């Protein structure tokens, strides 16, 4: 056993979060793609079976009341709230991230002071955010201004209505300065909208503490809600009375079953709802969140940083010199919970890794991406992944 293997074993033995791994359905594969799709919590199938057989199969329509289906979007939102640093009543679950980005960007432009016609967008954003923001801008008469997150303070001005930023860059894993950038946006009189898809569940976000206005995020990555599980929308309490959704669906009406022709928005974050909740995936998400009971996000962050530090150390020790280069920041304050390695032949290398039981993913043309989910990834996983990567890079096909 190598020194790094021995260290991994010792670190796993001392890890206070290690027992959580047993809550998930895992095999001998090193699963480092939880930043794309989280692993399945073991108890979720039984919960879904109950929903299917009793709540839908037996109670049928009665389950909207008797099984709590109708209030699920707000109830589950309150389960997510502490993970992203929000008080109850500010997070509502439903729709996809893309739909929630649309709601948030349009609502932000409507919350902004009159006469502002620019929406700043993270130039390196996940493509959908850019597509949606551009469409929202066309519809509201605003102009899109792409800008690198670090350059946002210099790009802000009296014409800025809103700023849409990613907390963690999906390619590189770079963590952007949410507190500092939010403060800069507010100093310019604009509205800050954050996409938390690659940070929520991996590190502290502090939406309330840092005065974020609006935020969106998915639940199928670090929150382990399942493929296509519904996203969420955060509306800070101070904005809820003025939040003007561009999708005023019937379930966000103050009296949805009155079926009146005129729209009157509900109070609170409920006005972020649109149509009938997607109950099966929503209740799978609710069950998945049970794995967070008693888990502190600061402990998750500490393990995340230790895991990514150790993985980078193992890669440096094992991999042939010059074959891979980390594009993930070394500084803890600038790193999310993934490591991105630039590799000239990234696509065949990732295929070989997966064939040998190490699952990461690829961002074309040349980035190998490894996500570290602290609830179920251990230090032995990190060491093994680096060792297999080195073998692939030095093998005959390399």
Pick the catalytic residue from 79, 221, 323, 384.
Answer: 221
CB atoms within 10 A of CB 184: 18
The DSSP code for 220 is S
Give residues with Cβ within 8 angstroms of 5, minimum separation 6. Answer: 380, 383
- DSSP 3-state assignment of 117? coil
CB atoms within 10 A of CB 296: 13
The DSSP code for 176 is P
Q: How is residue 196 written in tokens?
A: 């938390």
Indicate if 103 belongs to the active site.
Answer: no
Indicate if 370 belongs to the active site.
Answer: no
Pick the catalytic residue from 174, 323, 369, 387.
Answer: 369
Cα dihedral 288, 289, 295, 296, rounded to 10, equals: 140
Pick the catalytic residue from 102, 126, 310, 372.
Answer: 126
The DSSP code for 172 is T
Dihedral pair phi/psi, residue 339, rounded to 5°? -125, 125
- Cα→Cα distances 240→90, 234, 265, Å: 8, 10, 10
List the alpha helices (DSSP H) in 255-296. 279-288
Q: How is residue 264 written in tokens?
A: 């009157």
- Cα→Cα distances 262→248, 250, 254, 279, Å: 11, 10, 11, 27
CA 247, chain centre distance (Å): 23
Give residues with Cβ within 8 angstroms of 106, minimum separation 6. Answer: 136, 139, 140, 245, 246
Pick the catalytic residue from 195, 213, 361, 381.
Answer: 195
Pick the catalytic residue from 31, 102, 220, 234.
Answer: 220
Indicate if 220 belongs to the active site.
Answer: yes
Q: How many CA atoms lie within 13 A of 126 on its CB side?
A: 19
199's enclosing H/E stretch is none
Indicate if 369 belongs to the active site.
Answer: yes
Catalytic residues: 126, 195, 220-221, 369
């Amino acid at each position: 056993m190598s020194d790094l293997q021995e260290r991994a074993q010792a670190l796993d033995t001392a890890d206070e979060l290690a027992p959580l791994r047993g809550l998930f359905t895992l095999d001998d594969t090193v699963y480092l793609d939880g930043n794309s799709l989280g692993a399945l919590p073991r108890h979720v199938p039984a919960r879904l079976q109950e929903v299917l057989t009793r709540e839908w199969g037996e109670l049928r329509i009665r389950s909207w009341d008797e099984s709590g289906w109708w209030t699920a979007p707000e109830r589950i939102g309150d389960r997510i709230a502490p993970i992203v640093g929000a008080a109850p009543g500010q997070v509502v679950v439903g729709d996809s991230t893309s739909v929630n980005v649309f709601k948030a960007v349009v609502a932000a432009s409507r919350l902004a002071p009159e006469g502002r016609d620019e929406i700043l967008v993270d130039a390196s954003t996940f493509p959908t955010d850019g597509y949606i923001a551009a469409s929202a801008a066309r519809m509201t008469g605003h102009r899109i201004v792409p800008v690198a997150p670090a350059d946002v303070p210099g790009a802000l001005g009296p014409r800025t209505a809103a700023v849409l930023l990613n907390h963690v860059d999906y390619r590189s894993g770079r963590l952007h300065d949410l507190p500092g950038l939010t403060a800069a946006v507010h100093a310019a009189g604009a509205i800050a909208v954050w996409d938390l898809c690659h940070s929520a569940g991996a590190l502290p976000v502090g939406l309330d503490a840092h005065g974020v206005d609006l935020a969106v995020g998915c639940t199928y990555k670090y929150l382990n809600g399942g493929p296509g599980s519904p996203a969420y929308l955060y509306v800070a309490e101070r904005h809820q009375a003025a939040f003007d959704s561009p999708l005023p669906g019937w379930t966000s009406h103050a009296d949805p079953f009155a079926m009146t022709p005129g729209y009157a928005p509900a109070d609170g974050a409920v006005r972020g709802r649109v149509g009938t909740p997607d109950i099966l995936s929503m209740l799978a998400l609710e069950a998945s969140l049970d794995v967070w009971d008693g888990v502190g996000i600061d402990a998750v962050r500490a393990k995340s940083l230790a895991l990514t530090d150790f993985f980078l150390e193992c890669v440096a020790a094992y991999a042939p010199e010059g074959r891979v280069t980390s594009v993930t920041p070394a500084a803890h304050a600038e790193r999310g919970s993934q490591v991105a390695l630039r590799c000239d032949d990234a696509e065949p290398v990732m295929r070989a890794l997966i064939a040998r039981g190490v699952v990461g993913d690829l961002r074309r043309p040349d980035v190998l991406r490894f996500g570290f989910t602290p609830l179920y990834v251990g230090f032995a996983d990190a060491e093994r992944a680096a060792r297999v990567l080195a073998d692939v890079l030095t093998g005959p096909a390399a």
